[in-house]
A = this chain, B = another copy of it.
Amino acid sequence: MALAGSALALLAAAPVAARAQGGWPEPTARYTPPAGAADTSVAGLDLLPWPASISRRAGRLALDSTFTWTVSGYSDGRLVRAVDRALRRLEGRTGMILPRTPTRSGAATLVVRAAGPGMAVQGVGEDESYTLDVASGGAVLAAPTVVGIIRGLETFLQLVRGDGSGWSLPLVRIADRPRFPWRGLLVDVARHWEPPAVIERTLDAMAAVKLNVLHWHLSDDQGFRVESRRYPKLQELGSDGDYYTQDQVRAIVAYARDRGIRVVPEFDMPGHAQSWFVGYPRYASAPGPYHIAERFGVHDAVFDPAKEATYRFLDGFVGEMVKLFPDAYWHVGGDENNGKQWNANPAIQAFIQRQHLGDDAGLQAYFNRRLLEILTRYHKRMVGWDEILHPDLPRTIVIQSWRGAASLAAAARQGYDGILSSGYYLDAMGTAADYYRVDPLPDSLGLDSAQAAHVLGGEACMWGEVITPETIDSRIWPRTAAMAERFWSPKTVTDVAGMYRRLRLVDARLEELGVITDDHPAIMLRRLVPGADIAPLLTLLGAASPVSLGARYWASQTAMRFIPLTTLSEAAVPDPAGARTVGDEVRALLADAPRFAVDRGELAATFRSWRDAEPVIEAQAAASPMVEAGLPLARGLADLGAAGQEALAYLRAGTAAPASWVAQGDSLLARAARPVANLRLMVVPALRDLVAAAAAARPGAE
C-alpha cells in the first residue's frame, strides 16, 4: 500500500516545478502547461514519453569532437554500462567517435550524477525520477538512483538533433518522474516461441520509452518455456524443444535489470496448463494422456486441487524457479478455467463437499490460498487475473484486470492493488490513439485518493497466438510507446496529434535498437512476390490493418498453432500511417466546406494509386496464391478509390451526388468494410464521410 501511495504522491506532484539550482542560468522562457491538456509541442522537442516538467530557453549545447563525459557521485557497473550504451547509440546516430573513458575534470559535456544505486532488487517503490539540465556549457543528469539515470539517458538521447551547424541539444531543464510505478508489457512466449534475442531487443525498446516491467507469460496450454532441472519433463515434453535454459533466463533477467526493468514471470494455473501435463499427467484433474495443445482458446486441462501431491509438486517447482526470478511479484495467471474436468471428477467434487468449498469458484479460491502459502514462504506477492479475486484471499494479492477498469475499481475499493490491461491488448489491433485514450485511473471510476493509490499502473499485452519472431516487433511497436506515455506522463498529456507526431520519431529511433516496424511490410511482401515490384501491395497495406485476434479466431475453423504466419495479414501493420493520413486529409477537406479546396491534390493522388494498384496486384496474384487471397481487398480499395475520385468531383462542382450514386457508394462501402484474408480496410470511415459529403454538396465559394 505504501508503495502505491507514493505513486499517487508522484502523480499529485506532477508537473514538478523545476528546482532552482545553483550555477544554472534562469530559463528565458518558462514552460507552463495549460490548465487543461498539456502542451507537448514545445517548439522542436519530440520527447516521448513527455516529461512531468520541462522548461526551455534559447540556445544550444553543441555535440562535437570536444565532447567529454564524466560520472560524479555514485557509480557501479550498471551505471557505467548504461552510460556506455547511450554513448554507443550516440556514436551510431552522429557518426562521431566519442571518448571511451570519462574525463577527470569535474566539468564535461555530459555529467552523470547518481546519489545511490537504487533497490538491490528493483521494486514497485524504486525511485525513477531524474533531472536533466542542459546548458550551453554542458548537461547535468542527476538522479537519486541508477534507475533514474537510466531513464534520463533516454531523454538525453531524444534531445539530440542535427542541423547545418552539426549536432546539438536544445537548452532545457527537465524534472521528470513517472505517474505510475508499474508500466508493463506482457509478452506471451507460450503460444509461439520467441528466442532470447527477441526478448532482448524488446527490453531495449521498452527502456527507450521508460517501461519498467516485462511480464513474461512463460507457460500455457501450447507450450512450457523454461528449463526446470527438478521436473525436466516440463520443458522436454511440454515445449517442442523451444524453451529458455536457466542460463538464458538469468541472462535475460540481468539484461532487464541493466535497463531498469523488472521481470515478473507468469506460470498460468490452474487452467491454461495443458503443456505441464504432457510430462506430469498425475497433477491434472483427468487422467490423460496429454499432448501440447494445438488449438488456441480455452482447454479443459486443469490442475487437481484436491491432491496434496499437487502442492508438493508446485512447491518444488516454485522453489526452483524463485532462484531465477528475483522480483517480489509472481504471476499465477488464474484465468479461464472452464471447470469441466473438476465437474467430471467425483473425487474432486467429494473434496469440495468435504472442505465446504461450495462450488468450483470456492475450489479455485482454495487452490489459490494454497498457492499463496507457497509463494509467501518464498517471499513472493501473488499477482493474477481478475478471476483470482475472491473474499477468501487476503489484500496482499494483486489483480491484473483483463475485464476492465470497473473490475479494477471494484477490487481497489476492497483494498486490492491492481494493474489495468483491459483496453491495452495489442492483438486487438487497435490504433495507437485507441490505447492512448484509455486511462488506468479515469475520473469516472470515482475512487477516492486512498482507493486510487491501489491502481499501480497498466500493462500492454502481446498475446502470442498469431505472432512470430518476425512479426512481433511490428505488433508491439510503435503502438506500445503510446501506452508507455499514458503510464509515465502527467494525466493532462492527451493530445493525439502530438502523440502521433512524436511517435513517428520514436519509431525511427527504435530501429536503432534492431526493432523493425516501418520496413516490416516491405520485408514480408518481397517474399510473397519474389523479384516483382512490391509498391502496389505496399499501397494496399498502407490502407489496411490485420484484423483482431478475436476476429481471426472466430473466422477460422483451423485456429491452431501450425497456421503459417507469413500471409498478407502478417505483412500488414496495425494502425498504418497511410490510412491515418487519408483520414486527416478528408477531415481537413470537409472542414473547409463549402469550398472543399484543402489538399485535394494529395487525396486525388491517393485515390488514383488505389485504382492503379489493383490491376498489378491482379497480375501478381496469378503467380502467387498467397497474393490471390487478398485480391477482393485490392478490388475493394480500387472501388473506394473510384468513389473517392467521384466524390471529389461532386464536391468541386458543388453539385449534390444523385441518390443512385450514393446508394451504390453505400453498397461498395459495406462490401469494403468486410474483412478479407484477415485484413480490414482502415480507410472505410473516411470514405464514408466523403461520400456523405458528396451527397450533400452544394455550390461553394470557390
Which A residues fall within an 8 A CB radius of B? 91-97, 100, 161-164, 166-167, 195, 197, 247, 470, 504-505, 507-509, 511-512, 514, 516, 518-519, 522-523, 526-527, 530-531, 558, 560, 562-567, 622-626, 628-629
Q: Are A523 and B516 in contact (CB under 8 A)?
A: yes
A63 nearest CB neighbor, chain B only: B625
Assembled-state Cα–Cα distance A197/B624 (Å): 30
Q: Which of B94, B508, B563 is A625 in contact with, Cβ under 8 Å? A: B94
A523 nearest CB neighbor, chain B only: B519
A162, A195, A197 pick with most chain B CB within 10 angstroms: A162
Q: Which of B95, B100, B519 is A519 in contact with, Cβ under 8 Å? A: B519
The 8 closest A-B pairs by CB, nearest first: A508-B530, A92-B566, A91-B564, A504-B531, A162-B624, A95-B626, A164-B622, A197-B197
Assembled-state Cα–Cα distance A163/B95 (Å): 47
Chain B neighbourhood of A530, CB < 8 A: 504-505, 507-509
Assembled-state Cα–Cα distance A423/B595 (Å): 67
Q: Are B167 and A625 in contact (CB under 8 A)?
A: yes
Assembled-state Cα–Cα distance A507/B527 (Å): 9
Q: Are B162 and A100 in contact (CB under 8 A)?
A: no
A514 and B100 in contact, given A527-B93, A625-B95, A626-B162 (Cβ under 8 angstroms): no
A161 nearest CB neighbor, chain B only: B623
Q: Chain B nearest CB: distance from A102 CB in Å?
A: 16
Can you list 14 residue pairs at the A/B interface with Cβ under 8 Å?
A91-B562, A92-B566, A93-B566, A95-B567, A95-B625, A96-B564, A100-B562, A162-B623, A162-B624, A163-B623, A507-B530, A509-B530, A511-B527, A518-B526
A241 nearest CB neighbor, chain B only: B81
A96, A97, A509, A531 pick with most chain B CB within 10 angstroms: A531
Chain B neighbourhood of A625, CB < 8 A: 94-95, 162, 166-167
Chain B neighbourhood of A162, CB < 8 A: 623-626
Q: Are A629 and B511 in contact (CB under 8 A)?
A: no
Chain B neighbourhood of A161, CB < 8 A: 623
Chain B neighbourhood of A563, CB < 8 A: 97
Q: Chain B nearest CB: distance from A84 CB in Å?
A: 11
Chain B neighbourhood of A92, CB < 8 A: 564-566
Assembled-state Cα–Cα distance A562/B92 (Å): 10
Assembled-state Cα–Cα distance A623/B163 (Å): 4
Chain B neighbourhood of A507, CB < 8 A: 530-531
Q: Are A511 and B526 in contact (CB under 8 A)?
A: yes
Q: Chain B nearest CB: distance from A245 CB in Å?
A: 9
Chain B neighbourhood of A516, CB < 8 A: 523
Q: Chain B nearest CB: distance from A500 CB in Å?
A: 11
A91 nearest CB neighbor, chain B only: B564
A562 nearest CB neighbor, chain B only: B97
Assembled-state Cα–Cα distance A530/B97 (Å): 21
Chain B neighbourhood of A565, CB < 8 A: 92
Q: Chain B nearest CB: distance from A394 CB in Å?
A: 43
Assembled-state Cα–Cα distance A512/B528 (Å): 10
Assembled-state Cα–Cα distance A164/B621 (Å): 7
Chain B neighbourhood of A560, CB < 8 A: 97
Chain B neighbourhood of A624, CB < 8 A: 162
Q: Chain B nearest CB: distance from A514 CB in Å?
A: 7
Chain B neighbourhood of A522, CB < 8 A: 518-519, 522
Assembled-state Cα–Cα distance A289/B505 (Å): 46
Q: Which of B470, B531, B564 is A95 in contact with, Cβ under 8 Å? A: B564
Q: Chain B nearest CB: distance from A474 CB in Å?
A: 13
Assembled-state Cα–Cα distance A505/B514 (Å): 25
A558 and B163 in contact, given A508-B526, A518-B526 (Cβ under 8 angstroms): no
Assembled-state Cα–Cα distance A504/B527 (Å): 11
A626 and B518 in contact, given A527-B508, A527-B512 (Cβ under 8 angstroms): no
